[in-house]
Amino acid sequence: MNDSAGPGDDSLRRTFMALRDEIGKVIVGQDGLVTGLLTAALANGHVLLEGVPGVAKTLTVKTFAAALDLESARVQFTPDLLPADVTGQLILDPASRQFEYRPGPVFTNVLLADELNRTPPKTQAALLEAMEERQVTVDGRPRPLPDPFLVIGTQNPVEYEGTYPLPEAQMDRFLFNLRVGYPAPDDEVQVLRRHHEGLDPHDIRAAGVQAVAGPEDLAAARSAVNRVGVQDRVLSYIVNLANASRSAADVDLGLSPRGSTALLRAAKAWAWLSGRAYVTPDEVKAVAKPVLRHRLLLGSAHVPDLLDADPVIDRLLTTVAVPR
């Protein structure tokens, strides 16, 4: 089996690697976040971001969309937000006396759902159909969303008062749960230097960010990711990890078959970005935490780390045998 992909894939991969450099014109010290967004886009999956305010979550998403030449929209989720504020609604046209559909902000390529857990379940559910079916139904009529379509939701890991935790069914729609931390001191100095030199975070085009890829490139890259090979031993490894999570003593709800599929898709995207023509257990391990951490419902025996599934995932990766 060839270890690397073909020359056409190499050229396309270089294009996507250039995205990181382009985003780096504005974003400093968030390499993991940028790589996670890129991997999710290649795997056609949505992303849930968790991080305290002020760590460039929104700016990263805007820059990411601009570098990919994708339309983007931002919705601030609040307790009074209605489903129609997201999906759109029928409006009476006084001239024709006919109801016309006015699309909501969900009709975009990259939807930033800011503080998704601050809106009631009824409005949260408005995104369920969009995220899974890539369409919304208004007045009984399904309306397809643009392609590509990527939802990037954010949650504040503190300040849980007045929030509505996302149900397991909706959490499962997110391919990745990425944690966005503080930058390293040297990176933060670079952030300050850029602001001192006139960087305006509200005008990323002025910072020199240009589109280095487009929707056609993303579609071609996704096709290349789909061609990445997977041996039966790797498929069995993913299933063994899922079964181990379901039987773990400190886990009430383990990885679902949808979660296993998500782990496979993410591993294929990671392998393609790494220049491999097939998936190895190393790629599965590399994406295990962002894929699993929001899908494992921890039990009462794990109260000290109730909000952190990473130690459980570390144990699973250590105890489940790696195929040779």
As assigned by CATH, the class of the 228-324 domain is mainly alpha
Percent of the chain at pLDDT exceeding 70: 93
Residue type, 239: V
Residue 141 has pLDDT above 80, yes or no: yes
Helix (H, G, I), strand (E, B) or coil at 203: coil
Percent of the chain at pLDDT exceeding 90: 59
Residue 311 has pLDDT above 80, yes or no: yes
pLDDT at residue number 175: 97
Mean pLDDT computed over 51-59: 86
Helix (H, G, I), strand (E, B) or coil at 100: strand
Q: Identify the top-confidence range among 50-59, 81-90, 235-244.
A: 235-244
Residue 161 has pLDDT above 60, yes or no: yes
pLDDT one-digit tens code per residue, 82-94: 999 999 988 888 8
pLDDT category at 39 given cuts 50, 70, 90 is: very high
pLDDT one-digit tens code per residue, 165-220: 888 888 899 999 999 988 899 999 999 998 898 888 888 888 888 999 999 999 99
pLDDT at residue number 306: 46
Domains of the chain: which residue ranges? 1-227, 228-324
**Burial class, 80, CB count within 10 angstroms (exposed 0-12 / middle 13-18 / buried 19+):** exposed
pLDDT at residue number 7: 45
Residue 304 has pLDDT above 80, yes or no: no
Between residues 167 and 246, the one the model is more confident about = 246
Mean pLDDT computed over 57-67: 91
User: Over the chain, what is the mean pLDDT?
Assistant: 89
Alpha helices in 92-214 (DSSP H): 121-124, 126-133, 168-171, 185-196
C-alpha dihedral sign at 238, 239, 240, 246: positive
pLDDT category at 313 given cuts 50, 70, 90 is: very high
Q: Is the peptide bond before 148 cis (omega within 30 degrees of 0)?
A: yes
Classified by CATH at the fold level, domain 1-227 comes out as Rossmann fold (3.40.50)
Q: Which helix (H) or strand (E) is 49 found in, with range?
A: strand 46-50
pLDDT at residue number 284: 97
pLDDT at residue number 219: 95
Mean pLDDT computed over 312-322: 95
Residue 159 has pLDDT above 70, yes or no: no
Out of 96-100, 122-126, 301-305, 310-314, pick the least confident: 301-305
Residue 239 has pLDDT above 80, yes or no: yes
Q: Where does 85-180 show beta strands of DSSP type E?
A: 88-93, 98-103, 110-114, 135-138, 141-144, 150-155, 174-179
